[in-house]
């Protein structure tokens, strides 16, 4: 499953790039993510918890983060498994930062592979709608951390708790509206 997102961060390129290099802080802005250890050389161990309707999974896994400062791009290669439900997942993410006036435009391309029970949620546009909402939470958290005036204040800012039932139904409603809005006659 391919997921492509673009978003703006209201800070200059260098500020956003430096922030993206601080993997523990970035992880704090990813809803459901928990960084467990920095294993050196861009390797990390972590956990991602998701709950979508009746599906609940906690993926324990690893990720390799490879930034390219010259091009302001990076690659994240991750994999994990949910011991309880038997689902497995892998993700390859490329990201690019480009200046856009006083802001920075961030583009993200992810190739996600799911197996097991989690795979049923990888179909259709619902995952895209949910990722749109989670990206919104991520951007809000990033903006908050970058606006913080002290280290202590910055450490207190974390991704908002995801309310899975509300997220699922809001995303489902937005997806259905988009789906039926495409072919609807305009007045």
Q: pLDDT tens digits, residue range 1-29?
A: 788 888 899 999 999 999 999 999 999 98
Q: Comparing 173 with 72, which gets the higher pLDDT?
A: 72
Is the predicted pLDDT of residue 89 greater than 80, yes or no? yes
Number of other residues whose CB lies within 10 A of the CB of residue 172: 15
Answer yes or no: is 53 within a domain. yes
Nearest CA to 112 among 89, 132, 133, 130? 89
- Name which of 9-13, 69-73, 131-135 the model is least confident about: 131-135
187 found inside a domain: no
For residue 107, being part of any structural domain is answered with yes
The predicted pLDDT at position 127 comes to 62
Q: Collect contacts of 179-186 with beta carbons under 8 A, ≥24 apart.
A: 179/125
pLDDT value of residue 64: 96
Is the predicted pLDDT of residue 67 greater than 90, yes or no?
yes
Mean pLDDT of the chain: 81
Rounded CA separation 37/45 (Å): 5
Give the other-Cβ count within 10 Å of 50's Cβ.
21
Read off the CATH number of the domain in which 56 is found. Answer: 3.30.530.20
The reported pLDDT for the residue numbered 125 is 57
pLDDT band with cut points at 50, 70 and 90 for residue 171: very low
Of the CA atoms within 13 Å of residue 86, those in its CB half-sphere come to 2
pLDDT at 92 over 60: yes
Residue 186 lies in a domain: no
List the one residue out of 135, 142, 145 whose CA is nearest residue 32: 135
pTM across the whole model? 0.77
Question: 94 is in which domain, residue-wise?
Answer: 2-181
Q: What is d(CA 13, CA 105) in angstroms, rounded to the nearest whole number?
A: 8
- What does the chain look like in DSSP terms, one character per residue? -EEEEEEEESS-HHHHHHHHT-HHHHHHTSTTEEEEEEEETTEEEEEEEEEETTEEEEEEEEEEEEEETTTTEEEEEEEEE-TTT--EEEEEEEEEEEEETTEEEEEEEEEEEEEGGGGGGGSTTHHHHHHHHHHHHHHHHHHHHHH-SSHHHHHH--PPPP-HHHHHHHHHHHHHHHHHHHHSPP-
Asked if 82 and 58 touch (Cβ cutoff 8 Å), the reply is yes
Query: Count of domains in the chain?
Result: 1
In a domain, 68, yes or no: yes
Residue 122: inside a domain:
yes
In a domain, 103, yes or no: yes
81 located within any domain: yes
Of the chain, the percentage scoring pLDDT greater than 70 comes to 75
Q: Is the pLDDT of residue 176 over 80?
A: no
């Amino acid at each position: 499953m391919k997921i492509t997102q673009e978003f703006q961060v209201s800070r200059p390129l260098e500020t956003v790039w430096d922030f993206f290099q601080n993997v523990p802080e970035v992880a704090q802005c990813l809803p459901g993510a928990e960084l467990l250890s920095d294993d050196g050389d861009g390797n990390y161990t972590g956990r991602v918890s998701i709950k979508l309707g009746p599906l609940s999974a906690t993926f324990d896994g690893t990720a390799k983060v490879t930034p390219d400062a010259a091009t302001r791009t990076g690659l994240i290669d991750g994999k994990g498994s949910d011991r309880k439900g038997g689902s497995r997942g892998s993700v390859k993410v490329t990201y690019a930062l480009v200046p856009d006036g006083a802001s920075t435009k961030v583009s993200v391309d992810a190739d996600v592979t799911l197996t097991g029970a989690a795979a049923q949620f990888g179909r259709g546009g619902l995952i895209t709608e949910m990722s749109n909402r989670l990206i919104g939470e991520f951007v809000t958290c990033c903006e908050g951390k970058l606006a913080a005036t002290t280290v202590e204040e910055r450490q207190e800012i974390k991704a908002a708790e995801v309310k899975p039932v509300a997220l699922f139904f809001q995303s489902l409603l937005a997806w259905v509206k988009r789906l039926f809005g495409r072919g609807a006659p305009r007045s």
